[in-house]
Amino acid sequence: MSVTAHADALLEVEGLTVAFRGARAARAVDGVGLAIAPGETFALLGESGCGKSMTALAIARLLPEAAGVAGGRVRLGGDDLLALPEAKMRAVRGGRIGMIFQEPATSLNPVMSIGAQIGEALALHRGLKGTAARAEATRLMEAVGIPAAGSRLDDYPFQFSGGMKQRVMIAMALAGEPELLIADEPTTALDVTIQAQVLDVLAQLQARRGMAMLLITHDLGVVARMAHRVGLLYAGELIESGAREAFFAAPLHPYAQRLFAALPDGAVRGRMLAALPGGVPALDGALPGCRFAARCPKAFARCREEAPGWQAVDGRAVRCHLYEGGGEVLVRQRLTVVEEEAAAAAVAPAAPVLEVRDLAVHFPVKKGLLRRTAGWVRAVDGVHLALAPGRTLALVGESGCGKTTVGRAILQLTPVTSGAVWFDGKPLALTERAAVLEMRRAVQMVFQDPFASLNPRLCIGDILEEGMVSLGVGGEASTRRGIVDGLLERIGLTGAMRWRYPHEFSGGQRQRIAIARALAVSPRVIICDEPTSALDVSVQAQLLNLMCELQRERGLAYLFITHNLAVVRYMADDVAVMYLGRIIEQGPASRLLTAPAHPYTRMLLAAVPRVDAVEGAKAGERANVATEPPSPLAPPAGCHFHPRCPLADAACRECYPEAREMTVGHTVRCFKAA
């Protein structure tokens, strides 16, 4: 059967195949077909390496030099894009097809103003120049929700936040008034409030202009909120396609079912997530059977020998032998690898192994020829946290609130302005090198970007040993090698891989290597800075399972810095919510996430796209998400949140609220909390 049949389709892709050239040619995309109508959003879903981005690049004919279209057709409004000469295709890109790339920071030219970059698209595709182009650029910036748009046209990309850069990319993509918008992971690594803003902007502009949208993502929550129809990719093949509601109610393919089972949530807290074993198969060899067979719990002999064809099930299409001859529709289940009942009674936490009291980190702002201090950025302003053995404290908040600075300040990677760090009940002399080194043996950090934190010139064996040598642990070289080999086995790699370099591993493997490096010196506390922010669902589940296992085995204390509230529900024992350098609400996760007291915490929870609520949060619940947080250089008087708070009154604008206890262990800084 054809999965591209769709009435009045604007974009039609049939049998699209993308192959890499070389001695071992790989088919990154193999026979993909899809169709999108005007005003419709088609979500292309799948884990990293499955071919999502390659499909989008092939449609826009932006493939890298080493790759090419080996077969298939791509039609836009009846025009065969693959047959157009490059001169005509340049008018299609940016004109009829707009594209939002995954990483706005690398997609925007750092030496050109924002107005000049939008002006390029306006001149090329609409012939606008000078005053007319500037007026249209201002209108586009206003349309995507950038305040004071006219005055910001002369600013450069570094002067915009991550969420604002993404909205600038949307404005540029819309400059040519496209019929089709391709959005490649438009919200990856954005915090929940910025993500909500970007998704709202896209939905509003699509409704206003009637655009077709190809949304590429691995985030099931984003798909639930945005998509009309869903296509699931695996190893270059489309394996399931259908309406969003039906897909979320009862996914058909075993791969789709395992993706849902791998989602972290409070409902499966205390249990191992159903992480997919193994990985996506290499695409440079023969794949005679079902490409998912090696990882499928329902596979049988035929699956490994014969590739399945398309089957029609309740108006959807699925590529699976289980549905041949009208096989029974499988209902989505919340699978778990290990059933572990949570303790019936709460266990009193042990004394803190690490505590910070009134921690402050202020950065000077220098101006003028003599570089005099003109002000201070209060990145962290009086934070108190306590980490107990065997427990996880999640530190959450929007980008720029100071979360990462707290983690770095604890390890003295960022100088502390004031405050104290207590270790095992004793204050540390942070000015003494010996005391700091002693703490660093017990406290390690896993950084957000593992590729940037791993030395590309060292093999991973040397990377893992480097900290041991520096801190004088692990004994002789032969003993250290044994420890490293054991760690590699523990994180799902092999000792033989110690000679490989960071670029030879996937993103999920690199993050596990970063965790192994932290474990090499036998720490008691690990500070995890957004360790899952850019990982797909299946790799995230593997990493979270590993972290939970290690915590149970070693009694580790985790400070988990994240904006992923689903992960917080699954991992955290306690939660601290941070806003403009201060903790505004803190307490047990079971209480804070179900009955948040602060309006900001409620705003964060309302902004999360929910898989179990296909329509997403109502517009009214997200109304106050659309405003930008104030600058930490000039925070508002009174409660810092009052300019965005629907409950604020005169008292909120004049005085900063003191912390008060709502229930045992649950504190909040808010006059209106009840």
Q: Tell me the mean pLDDT in the region 259-273.
A: 85
Identify the weakest region by mean pLDDT among 230-239, 390-399, 405-414, 616-625.
616-625
Give the pLDDT confidence of 141-180 residue by residue, as tens digits.
888 878 788 889 999 998 887 677 888 988 999 899 999 9
Pairing of strands 41-45, 212-217: parallel
Give the DSSP H/E element, type plus range, for residue 542: helix 537-554
Q: Tell me the mean pLDDT in the region 242-268.
A: 90
Q: Is the confidence at residue 4, as pLDDT, over 80?
A: no
Q: Where are the domains of the chain?
A: 354-457+501-668
pLDDT of 535 reads: 78
pLDDT of 603 reads: 92
pLDDT of 3 reads: 58
Report for 253-262, 371-380, 624-633: range of highest mean pLDDT: 253-262
pLDDT of 613 reads: 58
> Going along 210-283, which residue ranges are E strands?
212-217, 229-234, 237-243
Identify the weakest region by mean pLDDT among 70-79, 103-112, 549-558.
103-112
pTM across the whole model:
0.84
The superfamily (CATH) of domain 354-457+501-668 is: P-loop containing nucleotide triphosphate hydrolases (3.40.50.300)
Residue scoring higher pLDDT (673 or 506): 673
Q: Is the confidence at residue 409, as pLDDT, over 70?
A: yes
Q: Is the confidence at residue 1, as pLDDT, over 60?
A: no
For a pLDDT cut of 90, what percent of the chain falls above it?
54
Which amino acid belongs to residue 442?
Answer: A
Identify the weakest region by mean pLDDT among 26-35, 172-181, 278-287, 416-425.
278-287
pLDDT of 620 reads: 40
Inter-residue contact 49 to 77 (CB < 8 Å): no
pLDDT of 101 reads: 84
- The angle at the Cα of 655, spanning 650 to 658, to the nearest 5 degrees, equals 125
Q: Is the confidence at residue 191, as pLDDT, over 80?
A: no
- Helix, strand, coil percentages in the chain from 3-state DSSP, rounded to 5: 35, 25, 40
Give the pLDDT confidence of 342-382 residue by residue, as tens digits.
333 344 567 899 999 999 999 998 887 778 888 888 999 99
SS3 of 261-321: the string is HCCCCHHHCCCCECCCCCCCCCCCCCCCCCCCHHHCCCCCHHHHHCCCCEEEECCEEEECH
What is the pLDDT confidence band of residue 40, given thresholds at 50, 70 and 90? very high
What is the pLDDT confidence band of residue 338, given thresholds at 50, 70 and 90? very low
Inter-residue contact 169 to 107 (CB < 8 Å): yes
pLDDT of 627 reads: 63
Stated length of the chain: 674
Which amino acid belongs to residue 671?
Answer: F
> DSSP code of 503?
G
pLDDT of 92 reads: 93
Average pLDDT of every residue of the chain? 87
